[in-house]
Every structure is written in structure tokens, then in C-alpha cells.
Structure 1
């Protein structure tokens, strides 16, 4: 007998949501979310605010201060004053502070998780547990690098010495997206601080709250004032000003490929260092010899985690033709157990999309696919909450690899299904997008797994696993999925300048002598 679909969990009323929000803030925070500049809360110099909307109920949760160019100048000045002393401090002293930040993140897990759930709609079962732990571990990993920033002595001509030294960029401008607010902020801040830089962070306008609390936590843990500043506002205004500021020497951005191109063009013109972690369209390959039950569990998590709002979401299912029907049925059966509803409910797996505008964008993608004659798998009817920005899961069958919905990053709870008949065909389809962030492979053949991992044009390859991450492992993509890498020793290198120092061991003689 088929199982009935899990009902939606009802939303907690707005008044109670605001009470939970207030409980997250330290004393003196105020009724409007401020800026964080030079180790203190700051009201707007221009008196401008913007609404922060709770996507679960579609109503304003709190107003947020919008930074002006004057606020940016104050943050730059504070960062400039603090940065040199921070770099000249003992690396083990910097490490001690970064480890204390990790400890404080864990102590404030409930507050940080609640803030991310309230303003991004990501379920509390993830934000207050996995996300908090990942953020803490990011700080711990980079704390372990601060006294290992070694240069080199290069063997050169006799009577000469060549030293290669690493120095910080100075001030790093970091711009984060709305889908994983805390972990994205930690991934920008920790490597920059570990390498002796100061940071000016602009969180996404849709989800800025946990970044503000993280800044306060870092200060509480002993981070000197001025080293971390948080400026709220839009990407087109304060984000653009950060990218263009002459005293901000490196930009690190995570977001859409469209915005990444604009930032890349600006930083290219200004000859600034830039790291861009952009979009993706993961090909999730399933071969007939795979463990289909585990693969189905992995796909449901990969595609529908965070309501599909993940750059590595396994939204393109590429499945061997002989098992396509069986495997899709397994996936559909698992979706019946997925609770969609208030992300503050610990049973909820899928919350709302981030905003009404984004929901409309996703619906437009789905409608265009349906109007083109694309067939949908008939999932059981599901009642969604009346308020908030919800969309139920969708599965499109027999999708051409060239179809728009199989090429564009939809960023919603959906899967396209494309079958293949051979390994070569699977690889060709997986590579046939402008993106190259991640490829997932499910097979019990080690030889096939290695062949596919060599041929896949992606920065991340997951074999019989899904979304495995570690702060020590580099993260980044090929093609239009970005420039540069985050995490690992690669992130250390990309936050530092290299200086070549030459010395003559004896009296210098001119080559013309």
C-alpha cells in the first residue's frame, strides 16, 4: 500500500518569530539591525533602512540599516588602522583568537541557527547544527595555518640569495549570497584573517542577520576592532562601492555567474585580485551497477536540500536507460516523506524559497518547461502553506540535454531526468553546460569512477557520496562556475601577495665592468 504524503508543518505566527529574533541579539543591539564598524554597532550615517523579510510568512521581520559611502570610508579607515598590527602579531596569537571565535560560534549555535532560519528560510535542523559546526571548523582549520605561512629560499646564482616572502593583501572586500549565510561568511572571513588581512563584509541583503552576530562574536572572542566590519545594503550600491574602492585590494564573491562577470570586469579593469565562486548545474550520474537506494537518498538530499537553492544541487539526473524508470520511482517515493513547512520546525526538510521575486523566477522556469511540452512525473498532490514563498518538488522526464531547464541554474526544488546508454554519452551530457562546479557519480566500478572523474570538466567530483566538504579541501569550479578557489591551502595563497627579495652576498660587480 503506497504511503501518504507528509503534511506541511504550520508556521509560527510573526509575533512569536520576532520574539525568537529578539532573543538572539546581545544587549544594546536595538530594534533595527545596525552596521558593525570598528568593533561597535553603528546606526546609518544617512538614516536609510531596508526591510528584512521572513520568507516563511512573507512579512517584514526587522528593518536593517543600509550602509552609505561614508560608512564604507569609516570601515576602510578602521580596517587600515587595525590591519598592520594584526599582521605583525605572532601567528600563534592570531590562531588563538580564531580558535576562540570557533568556540564562541558553537556557544551561540542556537542564536546563529535561528537567525539564518528566520531570514533565509533554511531549516533549523541544518542551520543550528551542520551549518554552525561547519562555520566553527572553518575558523579552526585556518587557525592552524597562521604560523605556517612560510616563504622559501630559492637556489640562484652563486654569491646571491633570493627570498620569497608572503604578505597579506591588506583589506579584503567579501560579498556573500543569501543561501548559506553563516557558512559563506565564515568561508570569506577566516582565511582572510588568518593571512593577516582585515575584512569588510557585505552580506546578502536578503539574509544579513547572522553575519552581524558573527562580527559581534568575533569581537567578543578577542578579535581587535577594525579587522572585521559588516556593511548591509544592496549589491548595486554598497557592493559596487566595495569592489571599486581603491584601498580594498582583494575581492572575494560568491553568487550568480551574471553578477560574477560584472565584478570580474570591474576588478580586471582595476587590476585587483579576485576570487569568484559562481553558479553550477551539477550532473548527477547514476549507472546501473550503483547502489540505487543509496543513490536515491543522495539525489533527494542533493536536489532538495535548502529547497534546491544550492549551487551544487544535483538538479540534472543523468541515469542509465535500463534503470531510469526504477530509479525515478525510488526518488519519487522518498519525496513523500519530505516535510515541507515552517523551517523552525525540526521535522521540516524543505522550507520556503528566499523571496517572492525568486519564487516567481523559479515558477517561470517550470512554466516554460511545461509549456514546451516537457512531461512531468506525477507526484502526489501536496498542500503548501498559504503564506510564504513555497514551491513543491518537480521532476521533469525525458529532458533533452539542450533544454533551457537542463542548462540554466533554476535554484529551486526540481530535477530534470535525462537517460544515457553508455559511459561516453553520460560524460558528454554532464559536460555539456557552461558550468563546471560539480559532478556526482554513482557506480560500483572503481575503474569507471576514475575514468569519469578524469573526463568530467568540474572542480568538484563526488563519487558515491553527496556534498562532501572539508575546510582543508579546495572548493571551486571550471568554466563559468568561477575563478580561483576557496578553502584549503589554495585559499591561503589567494589572500596573499608574493614578494621576491634579492641580496648580494659579496660586493656587487656590474655586468658591464
Structure 2
């Protein structure tokens, strides 16, 4: 049985109205259309946005272009930009409860989780502020008496930032502060499903001292508002987080003008477990990795690759713990798994489970949608007897569904882990550090967790191999991603003419 936390009606909640931020002004869309967000956990409208059309995206790009070419932001000292980011971090912390509520109500994530994400986001803004002052180039005085070489790092220019619905505030915080630290100007398009907290961030950055046009925020669908941000010639770089399919389209659009592209895409992340692992710790991590954010997480530990000697025991213990997970009202502090983002996505998740069962997988726990009287919810689900070729073992379900596969040898475990198109993250569990390092070096993924799962820090780079994306976010080099390298080759003294006879 799943522990249910039934949602409470929102009562007299007043729909919150939002406008777009373009060139330092809060404006309506040119076509006068609006988008409404229905809370996935409560089934009622909670937010209303001005909907951006292509012309609004172009206005925002033009504002960012002017702010970069003629405005003060790229010409400020690093310490001045750093102070703006630090003030923003303080304001994020001060408004954390408000921002967490908006993310919880719009995305369906548990409020306690949203508050943790806000604390992490504030830390990222402070880390980016520190990196702003550490950005530097190189010099070479070893090229001979007549030559001095200087390598500069300059802001790349106008950056389009497109973010998804599953971590609305956290993911924009993995991109925007580093672009600003480098001196770039930006156009941000959050998902039209979860735009509220990003628009509040616009208020925060205005109050923190970001000049007009440095941060522009528009809301709209991908075809109408997102596509111009990926193809417009005045955009110098695109930073996108979302599905691998849309990532490919983004890359194709950006190729028209050869923009720099940073992509953080999908994952189908394995946890490889050996018989000598600390199973008590692993089982807690397995449940957390599978059901955190209702499994709507590119980093979800959705594939368990268990040694055959322990597979039955571990699966039974995970099912037992899964039955204790609290599912339901995103606004209840006790909730651990909240609502699914849309009815259509819930149907997609259920379809994967049904298909797997038809192909021979066993539903060891859950397996169905939950009726809590309002909103849309999915039971934490475990599928055992999963074969590597099944769709549920290869494709990103993006829901609270855990697939259990088995292995006998280390080589077989590595082969299964590497047999898919993704390579975002992976975990390995063993008391033998030789085993952990072997897996860590041979599994092709951007992050390998050893005897833990889904830990992170602002200092550690994040990104994937293969179809999980291009580039890295966070870490000490994150600001550099938003720069171009320029060489100054300086000649000292008289230069010998090429055409003079010798």
C-alpha cells in the first residue's frame, strides 16, 4: 500500500497575474494572449501569464543586444557584477518561502523539497559571484624578446537561456548567474508550465541593481517564443535544459548561425550494486533516487543493475520501503512524492508501465495512477524481471518508475550500464574501492556516485556524455563557458619587413 496525503482545497486562493520583463519594463505580450497554469496537485488555476509571440522574443533579444553592445554591464568591474549577484542571493534567501510555494504549486513538487532547492540556488548565486572575480586569462612572455602574448576571456554576448518545468528555480540558477558573472546579457524563457518563480527572480535582479536589458524574461511555448531564441542572429549562445528531442531541435536551429550551444538533456541513470555493498544505505538511496521529484528528474536513478545473488532480497526490501513513501499534497510538509506535471504526462508514464508488463516485466510495487480526489498522482512503481532491450530500461520515463535488471560479472554490469544512448550519471555500491573505481572509470557518464546517489555541490561540474548533452554547468569553469577567448599578439620593437632582401 502507498501512504497517501490527500490534497487540501486551496480555498480562496487568488490567481497570481504575471507580465513579461523586457528592457527593464514589465510589459504585456504584443498579441494580448495569456497562458494559465493549473496546479497539478490541486486541479485549479493558480497563475496567469502574458504569452510571448515571436515579436516579443525579438523585442527581448534586441534589448539584450543593446544592453551588451552599449550598456554598462559588460564594462563593469568584476567586483561590481559580483556585488549584484551577492545582493540577488540575499534576496533569494529572503523570499525563499514565496519562491518555494510557487514552484510547489506549479510543478507539483513537495514544498519541503522546494525549500531545499531554494537554499541550494542561493548558494549557487553566491558561488557564481565569487567566480566573477576569479575570471582571468593568460600571458606568455616566453615567445622571444620581440613578442608578448596575452590571452583574454571576454563575455560571449547575448545568451538565450531556456529552462524546463521540473526544477524551475534551481535550473535557471545553474545558468543565469554564471552568464551574468561573465558580463553577458540574457533572454530567459522558463517553461510555460512553471514560469512564476523565474519572473519573481526578475524582480529580485532589478532590485539587486541589474541594469535594464541585462535580464529579459518572456513566457511562451517553444514554437512561438523559444524558437526565435535559438535561431536569431543577434543571439550569440544558447543554454538549454530539457528533453533530448528538443535539444536536437535547438542544436539544429542554432547551427543556422553557428551559435555556441550548451545542452543539459535526458538521462537513464544506472545504480550498479554488488553483494558486498552496505544494503541498508543503498536501499534508502534507491528509493530516494527513483522517487525524488516524482522521478521527473534527468538524474533519477531509474535503472537498478543488481547482482543476481542479491536481486530478490533487494527488490523485496525496496518494495517494502516504497510502501512507506508519502504521496500526495505538494503543500503538505510530510509529502515526499508530489503530483505529476500534466495529465498527458501521467498517461505517458502509465503507458510505459503497461508496456513493460506486457513485455514480461513484473510489477513488484505500485504500477497505477492514484485517485486523491483532485490533481494527478502516480504510485511509486518497481518493475522487476526487466531486460536491457525493453523500452522501460532504455528510454527516459520521467516518472516514479524503477526498473530492476541483473548481472553476474563486473563486465556484464558495465556493458548494461553503457548500452543506452544516455550518459548523464551513474552510481556504484561496493565496499571494495577497486570495484568502485573500475566502474567509475569505465561507465560513460558525466557524474559517477560511489556509495551515495544524487549528491551535489556548486563546486562540482554537472553534465553528460552522448545524448545527455553538451558542456558542463556549475564548477569553477562555469563562468568560462559564457566567454570567448581572444589572443593579443604584441610585437615589441622594429619588425623586419617580409619583402626586404636578406
Which category of TM-score, normalised to the shorter sequence, fits these structures?
A: over 0.9
Contact 2:110–2:335 (Cα < 8 Å) also in 1: yes
1:430 shift after superposition: 0.7
Which piece of structure 1 moves more, 370-379 or 491-500?
A: 370-379
Choose which of 42, 63, 69 in structure 1 pairs with 2:48. Answer: 63
Alpha-carbon separation, structure 2, partners of 1:465 and 1:373: 30
Q: Does 1:389 align with 2:376?
A: yes
Tell me the CA shift for residue 381 of structure 1.
9.3
1:80 aligns with 65
Match status 1:47 vs 2:43: no
Q: Determine which of 34, 57, 76 is the counterpart of 2:19.
A: 34
- Deviation per CA, 1:265-320, whole angstroms, max 9, x where unpaired? 12123210000000000011111111101000001111100110000101100011
Q: Which one of the candidate residues 448, 465, 468 is aligned to 1:481?
A: 468
Distance in 2 (CA, whole Å) between partners of 1:457 and 1:308 is 22
Conserved in 2, the CA contact under 8 Å of 1:303 and 1:313?
yes
**Cα distance, 1:491 vs structure 2:** 2.0
Counting only pairs closer than 5 Å after superposition, residues 180-191 of structure 1 correspond to structure 2 as 180-191=167-178
Does 2:311 correspond to 1:324? yes
- Name the SS for the 2:301 alignment partner: coil
Task: Say if 2:431 is the partner of 1:444.
Answer: yes
SS in structure 2 at match of 1:182: helix
Kept in 2, the 8 Å contact 1:436–1:478? The answer is yes
Question: Does 2:141 match 1:145?
Answer: no
Q: Deviations over 1:168-195 (max 9, x none)?
A: 0111100001000000111111100000
**SS of 2:188 mapped into structure 1:** strand
User: Residue 395 of structure 1 contacts residue 414 of structure 1 at CA under 8 Å; is this kept in 2?
Assistant: yes
2:233 is aligned to: 246
User: 2:328–2:372: 8 Å Cα contact kept in structure 1?
Assistant: yes
Counterpart-to-counterpart distance in 1, 2:78 and 2:277: 47
* Cα distance in 1 between the residues matched to 2:495 and 2:432: 63
Greater shift after overlay, 405-414 or 219-228?
Answer: 219-228
In structure 2, the residue matched to 1:285 is 272
In 2, distance between residues paired with 1:338 and 1:7? 6
Contact 2:367 2:382 in 1 (8 A): no
Counterpart of 1:428 in structure 2 is 415
Mark the CA change 1:214 to 1:321 in structure 2 (over 3 Å): closer, same or farther.
same
In the TM superposition, what is the alpha-carbon distance from 1:359 to its structure 2 partner?
Answer: 1.0
Q: TM-score, structure 1 length as denominator? A: 0.94
Give distance in 1, aligned partners of 2:238 and 2:328: 37
- The answer (yes or no) to whether the contact 1:169–1:249 under 8 Å persists in 2 is yes
Change (3 A) 1:234 1:383: closer
Q: Deviations over 1:451-497 (max 9, x none)?
A: 11010100110001111111221111001100111111332221001
Alpha-carbon RMSD? 1.6
Whether the 8 Å CA contact 2:188–2:216 is kept in 1: the answer is yes
How far apart, in 1, do the equivalents of 2:318 and 2:129 lie? 41
Is this contact kept in 2: 1:7–1:383, CA < 8 A? Answer: no
The separation in 1 between residues aligned to 2:367 and 2:17, in whole angstroms, is 43
How far apart are residue 382 of structure 1 and its match? 9.2
SS at match of 1:488: coil
TM superposition shift of 1:38: 2.3
Contact 1:435 1:481 in 2 (8 A): yes
Q: Is the 8 A contact 1:36 1:229 kept in 2?
A: yes
**Using a 3 Å threshold, how does the CA distance of structure 1 residues 381 and 251 change in structure 2: closer, same or farther?**
closer
Deviation of 1:383 (Å): 5.5
SS at match of 2:175: helix
| Deviation (angstroms), 1:142 | 0.7
Say whether residues 1:454 and 2:441 are aligned partners: yes
Give the TM-score of the pair, scaled to structure 2.
0.96
234-243 or 220-229, larger mean C-alpha shift: 220-229
SS at match of 1:8: strand
State the distance in 2 between where 1:171 and 1:426 align. Answer: 44
1:201 is aligned to 188
CA distance in 2, matches of 1:322, 1:44: 60
Q: Which residue number in structure 2 is paired with residue 12 of structure 1? A: 8
Return 86-95 or 194-203, whichever deviates more.
86-95
Give 1:498's aligned residue. 485
- Runs of 4 or more off by more than 3 Å in structure 1? 378-384
Q: Give the secondary-structure state (helix, strand or coil) at the position aligned to 1:229.
A: strand
Between the two proteins, the alignment pairs up a number of residues equal to 497
Instruction: Tell me the equivalent position of 1:227.
Output: 214
Q: Does 1:376 align with 2:363?
A: yes
Is structure 2 residue 303 aligned with structure 1 residue 346? no
In structure 2, distance between residues paired with 1:383 and 1:77: 47
Distance (Å, rounded) in 1 between the aligned partners of 2:478 and 2:3: 43
Mapped partners of 2:407, 2:471: distance in 1: 32
Say if 1:39 and 1:144 are closer, same or farther in 2 by CA, change over 3 A. Answer: same
Please say which of residues 293-302 and 223-232 is displaced more in the overlay: 223-232
Whole-Å Cα distance in 2 between the matches of residues 373 and 327 of structure 1? 20
Q: Does 1:99 align with 2:95?
A: no
Contact persistence 1:384–1:392 (CA under 8 A): no
Q: Tell me if 1:112 matches 2:99.
A: yes
Match of 2:260 among 252, 259, 273: 273
